[in-house]
Structure 1
């Protein structure tokens, strides 16, 4: 049953004269090059909020039916479809739970969308550095101990935002963290952007909703069959007012939502409800094949963590490979694998590459991945001689302090550009992120430290890209002008 998708399909083939947007009128006026490549069918279904298609922000018909089915499938009390990605869901969750000057606890490796939520809400972040593994140069998840200590330091925290899973598939002990927030009757928001598939096979970690989260945001497009940008926000329990979620989503969501994206959410939900376990069982087999074969290739190390501090569960379909044994950085290996081998990773980092495996991958994909790494291992000394990447080995201190200014105050403050060296101990006025993964290295309101500057320099030296800065080369940084 796909109420929204089915209604959209029927209207796409309804014979009528269109005097409404979009301008291409069901593909009749579309650029011929697009029609030749994509066909006209996709444009027939590119329809606006017609009466029969319901209204995303006041659903009463097929959107409401589709969202209700999604809530039942994913285990929520209420579900909202998102067409602006998980970004708008995370921002909306923050806006619905904390206001100007109120404190929210977040891990320091949170996505930059959460910082946008802080800027818009005026909330004050209490950042916690999650456990850091210098062997892999990876940060894991929030620990219950760090959350408890944060509350002791800041008993007026109004909400907690956790990340689960990380890009590498690591999930923290959300059940214990939820017990802490529930005792205080405050909401637990979980950025589960990379975990929309967890519900559909017992080999996956439990979902954040199952473990006690109040609000969960999922990028349905990342690991399920929805189109890019199509995401969902799930609510469970009574700690967060659904009307506040509604109002917040109207602030950050488009008033002209794409029904192609909305229908893809409906279809992705139906696919998982009817075929999910079977599809994912095949993916597990491919993931296991890839792990076993790649682990035998000289110079490679496969990320396969066991439960430890910051790691309660692990997604076995997330494949992270350390290539430093080949004398390569993750960035360099990514370029080589892309051309000439045609193998493209989700996330290159200083010493590793992360690959997302889903039911959309085939046996041929896995073999291509394996063949590329076999050739890379055989040829790296002759063709790709590089020094081994230098990776930091110091663990960041857990910090429960507050930034000098709230992200909102800093964002709107007067700022000036200074040379990188002169920015030390100044207050940052920019949101500066190595990308991917889009985790802020510096954000508005934070004091600029020597360690952060060194980390950014290293990212550029290793071939990473810096986003958010006025000067992408980082010759200058904008700081608060007192």
Structure 2
């Protein structure tokens, strides 16, 4: 089903670019952080602590690099250690900021359009878990799309909530799931009401790892009309506010809590993320703050925090220009790769019953037309051609473009897929398409939950051989990684089709996380009472 103009208006608006009053540089790669008159608050504070030249009798024990391991300083130098400090008086208190961290948080909230923003040093996973704990109490229902990240399962276990899953549209040719529709959310809310189940929150992932976005505008209206907060895992969409071709942000579509991985397409250090709340009254701010306090470390890395502030500063200085080249390179790569024999590009038409809008900086390339799996294609691209993908799946590879992408990247990427086509297309073009799915069905079809995740997590367990597990309640989260989406969560009944899918993942060179036995010769199951 083609997107209507009305659908597109729910997602893309040029007005979504922040109106920043600073002078906008025309050089997107300018080193704007070196201007002493306009230094981000946390960078300024870290510089001040270094300039004091004080005598340090506090953690960490390397004392600003004086005792840093030589093997590390040979790798990264001593500067990172100089600024790896604890909560000094010159800095701030992580959980109760009153100085530069508070200033940095306020400026981040203004930039991203939030009522309040938190800096996270435990990744988006920590923010997802805290959001679920802050909105759902034990026994309450959380409406949750089934292809959510494993951190959402952890949040369900921590909170004691009971999941009511929504199953996204699934394309067997690609072995990829899309998002969820407003109608699915509305139906789930009505079903819970009919069953007298109290709903704590609705949890949606948008965009997915493949860059597929959900119509959050309509979903937020449905949630709010039912007095239910909407949590959005926007880990892969922190950059959406900064180019007119990007989808609308979750905040601008009415979400109440949004968690973003600022380290993915944006520029902060790995493990650093942000959590934003809207002006909605649906969220208990104090409860959310306490949940973050419980889950985050009491020894935060100020390098991670400073990288978040520096990223915010750079975005504020050049909001209109940073991703112009990146989008141009991604568009060029898509056009050229799509012409290669045996290669396909994921686009909105892949999901005819889901009005998909795609992240222009995420490209998913299908390789089943070459008669090979995504894992086989990745071995050639990575090992032989030096091209490293972000995500490898049974039938495709996903590539992430960013401001660091150059014309040389595009040329090398296109040449790599051309070489891949030359190697495999001619010898396999007459063969029947390789089928890496299970009987053409989505792996999430007909899942049954015999225990809720928290009950299963704390239940007595035993290990069974693979062939003995069918029909048992799974006692662990098992998910291919990346993307970190569980194929089995604690409490779900193990089926033959799911086991077959997992075995194919491993046999093709993939791997799983969460399982006590990563080779899956055994699975942990819940003992029957």
Change (3 A) 1:436 1:102: same
What is the alpha-carbon distance in structure 2 between the residues aligned to residue 151 and residue 398 of structure 1?
Answer: 20
What is the alpha-carbon distance in structure 1 between the residues aligned to residue 333 and residue 398 of structure 2?
Answer: 13
8 Å Cα contact 1:124/1:407 also seen in 2 = yes
State the 1:443 CA deviation.
0.9
What is the alpha-carbon distance in structure 1 between the residues aligned to residue 426 and residue 179 of structure 2?
Answer: 39
8 Å Cα contact 2:342/2:425 also seen in 1 = no
Pick from 272, 286, 304: which aligns with 1:230? 272
8 Å Cα contact 1:127/1:402 also seen in 2 = no
Task: Please list the CA deviations of residues 92-122 of structure 1 after superposition, one character each: whole Å capped at 9, or x if unmatched.
Answer: 0001000111100101100000011111111
Other structure's SS at 1:223 match: coil
| 1:420 matches 2:466 | yes
8 Å Cα contact 1:126/1:402 also seen in 2 = no
Pick from 364, 385, 392: which aligns with 1:320? 364
8 Å Cα contact 2:443/2:498 also seen in 1 = no
State the 1:394 CA deviation.
2.3
Change (3 A) 1:324 1:397: closer
Other structure's SS at 1:377 match: helix
8 Å Cα contact 1:170/1:311 also seen in 2 = no
Pick from 129, 144, 167: which aligns with 1:106? 144
The equivalent of 2:74 in structure 1 is 36
8 Å Cα contact 2:111/2:312 also seen in 1 = yes
What is the alpha-carbon distance in structure 1 between the residues aligned to residue 346 and residue 137 of structure 2?
Answer: 39
| 1:140 matches 2:173 | no
Task: Please list the CA deviations of residues 200-231 of structure 1 after superposition, one character each: whole Å capped at 9, or x if unmatched.
Answer: 11110000000010000000001100000000
Change (3 A) 1:33 1:461: closer
What is the alpha-carbon distance in structure 2 between the residues aligned to residue 283 and residue 151 of structure 1?
Answer: 40
Pick from 420, 424, 433: which aligns with 1:376? 420
| 1:296 matches 2:334 | no
| 1:165 matches 2:207 | yes
State the 1:123 CA deviation.
0.7
Pick from 464, 477, 481: which aligns with 2:523? 477
State the 1:310 CA deviation.
3.3
Other structure's SS at 1:16 match: coil
8 Å Cα contact 1:132/1:396 also seen in 2 = no
| 1:84 matches 2:122 | yes
The equivalent of 2:394 in structure 1 is 350
What is the alpha-carbon distance in structure 1 between the residues aligned to residue 445 and residue 450 of structure 2?
Answer: 17
8 Å Cα contact 1:71/1:234 also seen in 2 = yes
The equivalent of 2:321 in structure 1 is 278
8 Å Cα contact 2:146/2:444 also seen in 1 = no
Task: Please list the CA deviations of residues 372-402 of structure 1 after superposition, one character each: whole Å capped at 9, or x if unmatched.
Answer: 1111111236999999531332246777x97
What is the alpha-carbon distance in structure 2 between the residues aligned to residue 331 and residue 384 of structure 1?
Answer: 17
Other structure's SS at 2:264 match: helix
| 1:253 matches 2:291 | no
The equivalent of 2:373 in structure 1 is 329
| 1:409 matches 2:441 | no
Pick from 46, 53, 56: which aligns with 2:94? 56
The equivalent of 2:382 in structure 1 is 338
What is the alpha-carbon distance in structure 2 between the residues aligned to residue 191 and residue 114 of structure 1?
Answer: 9
What is the alpha-carbon distance in structure 2 between the residues aligned to residue 425 and residue 398 of structure 1?
Answer: 15
The farther-off stretch of 315-324 and 273-282 is 273-282
8 Å Cα contact 1:13/1:44 also seen in 2 = no
State the 1:174 CA deviation.
0.8
8 Å Cα contact 2:48/2:90 also seen in 1 = no
Task: Please list the CA deviations of residues 137-181 of structure 1 after superposition, one character each: whole Å capped at 9, or x if unmatched.
Answer: 210001111111111211222210000001111011111111110
What is the alpha-carbon distance in structure 2 between the residues aligned to residue 397 and residue 456 of structure 1?
Answer: 12
TM-score by length of 2: 0.88
Change (3 A) 1:256 1:397: closer
Pick from 63, 66, 69: which aligns with 2:107? 69
Pick from 464, 474, 478: which aligns with 2:510? 464
What is the alpha-carbon distance in structure 2 between the residues aligned to residue 219 and residue 287 of structure 1?
Answer: 20
State the 1:13 CA deviation.
3.5
